[in-house]
Amino acid sequence: MLLERRRQVCHGTRKRDKMGESAKDRRQDPAGVLSRRGAITANYEDFLTQYLTCASANPYHPVTNPEGIINLGTAVNRLMEEELSERLRRGDALSYSPSYQHYYDFDGTRELKGALIGFLGRHFLPAKDIGEDEIVVLNGVTSCLDALSHALCDPGDVIITPTPVYARMFTDVHDRAGAAVLPLVLRQEADSSDESFVLRAEDLEARVEALHQEGRRVRAFMLVHPNNPLGDVYSPQLLSDLMDVCARHEIHFISDEIYALSIFTDEDEPSSRPPFRSVLSLPHPDPDRTHVLWGLSKDFGLAGLRVGVVVSRCAELMTCLRAIAIYKCTPQLVHHAAAALLSDTASIPIPSLRPSSLLSLVRRLYLRLNSERLGRTYRHARGRLEAMGARVREARAALFVWFSIRDFMETDSAEEEMEIHAQLMRAGVYVVPGSKLYGSDPGWIRLIFSVREEELDEGLRRIESVLKSRRKETA
Whether the Cβ atoms of residue 150 and residue 324 lie closer than 8 Å to each other: yes
How far is residue 402's CA from residue 146's CA, in Å, rounded to a whole number? 27
What's the chain's average pLDDT? Answer: 88
Whether the Cβ atoms of residue 256 and residue 145 lie closer than 8 Å to each other: yes
- Domain 90-342 = CATH 3.30.470.20: no
Percent helix, strand, coil in the chain, to 5, is 45, 15, 40
Task: Say which residues have a Cβ less than 8 Å from residue 343's Cβ, sequence separation at least 6.
Answer: 115, 118, 119
Q: Please list the alpha-helical segments (H only) found in 291-413.
A: 315-324, 332-342, 367-388
How far is residue 143's CA from residue 325's CA, in Å, rounded to a whole number? 9
Residues of the chain with pLDDT under 50: 1-7, 9, 12-27, 191-193, 270-271, 346-359
Angstrom CA distances, 273 to 82, 236, 255, 340, 401, stand at 32, 11, 20, 34, 18
Q: For residue 298, which of 196, 384, 229, 199 has the smallest C-alpha distance? A: 229
CATH of domain 47-80+361-474: 3.90.1150.10
Whether the Cβ atoms of residue 194 and residue 393 lie closer than 8 Å to each other: yes
> Which residues in the chain are classed under CATH 3.40.640.10?
90-342
Whether the Cβ atoms of residue 162 and residue 199 lie closer than 8 Å to each other: yes
How far is residue 55's CA from residue 170's CA, in Å, rounded to a whole number? 23
10 Å Cβ neighbour count for 283?
A: 10
In the DSSP assignment, the letter for residue 361 is I
Looking from the CA of 181 toward its CB, the CA atoms found within 13 Å total 24
How far is residue 276's CA from residue 371's CA, in Å, rounded to a whole number? 13
How far is residue 39's CA from residue 28's CA, in Å, rounded to a whole number? 9
How far is residue 82's CA from residue 351's CA, in Å, rounded to a whole number? 13
Angstrom CA distances, 179 to 149, 164, 172, 310, stand at 7, 19, 9, 19
Looking from the CA of 7 toward its CB, the CA atoms found within 13 Å total 4
> Beta partners for 356?
none
Q: Do you find a cis peptide bond into 164, omega within 30 degrees of 0?
A: yes
How far is residue 135's CA from residue 144's CA, in Å, rounded to a whole number? 11
Residue 473's pLDDT is what?
A: 66
Angstrom CA distances, 424 to 49, 51, 56, stand at 18, 12, 16
Q: For residue 419, which of 168, 389, 427 has the smallest C-alpha distance? A: 427
Task: Say which residues have a Cβ less than 8 Å from residue 401's Cβ, sequence separation at least 6.
Answer: 231, 378, 381, 382, 385, 392, 395, 446, 447, 449
Whether the pTM exceeds 0.85: the reply is yes
Three-class DSSP category at 336:
helix
> Which residues in the chain are classed under CATH 3.90.1150.10?
47-80+361-474
Residue 412 buriedness (CB in 10 A; 0-12 / 13-18 / 19+): exposed
How far is residue 217's CA from residue 413's CA, in Å, rounded to a whole number? 33
Buried b (16+ CB within 10 A) or exposed e, 158-190: bbbbbbbbbbbbbbbbbbebbbbbbbbebebee
Whether the Cβ atoms of residue 377 and residue 79 lie closer than 8 Å to each other: yes
Q: For residue 395, which of 372, 380, 379 has the smallest C-alpha distance? A: 379
Which sign, positive or negative, has the C-alpha torsion 401, 406, 408, 414?
A: positive
> Beta partners for 190?
195
Q: Which amino acid is at 353?
A: L
Looking from the CA of 355 toward its CB, the CA atoms found within 13 Å total 0
